[in-house]
Amino acid sequence: YDCLNSTRSMTRFHPMGAVGKKLLQILSSMTESPRSLSDISRVAIYKSIDRQLALKVPLLPIPNLMKKYLLEVQ
């Protein structure tokens, strides 16, 4: 979420009015409640396997419980 702080700053001055305010609320909530370590890890793993979950997750040398977690796309 590193990019959200600058986006949040820019939204304050955007001429979209109410739409801009709603976007600001969404961005604020995202920056105030950061992702969990498990979410960050999942994203890093997804990127490292080129998002080919069904093909590559079963091949990972990790416990089955972790494989199940990775395959549960939210």
Q: What is the pLDDT of residues 6-32, one digit of tens each?
A: 665 655 565 555 566 777 777 777 777
pLDDT score for 63: 95
Q: Which DSSP letter does residue 62 get?
A: S
Same domain? For 4 and 26 the reply is yes
Residue 53 lies in domain = 37-71
- Measured CA to CA, the distance from residue 60 to residue 72 in angstroms comes to 15
How many CA atoms lie less than 13 Å away from 50 in the CB half-sphere? 3
Same domain? For 21 and 48 the reply is no
pLDDT score for 1: 52
Structure tokens at 55: 């093909």
- Measured CA to CA, the distance from residue 20 to residue 25 in angstroms comes to 9
**Percentage of residues in the chain with pLDDT exceeding 90?**
34
pLDDT greater at residue 6 or residue 36: 36
Same domain? For 47 and 66 the reply is yes
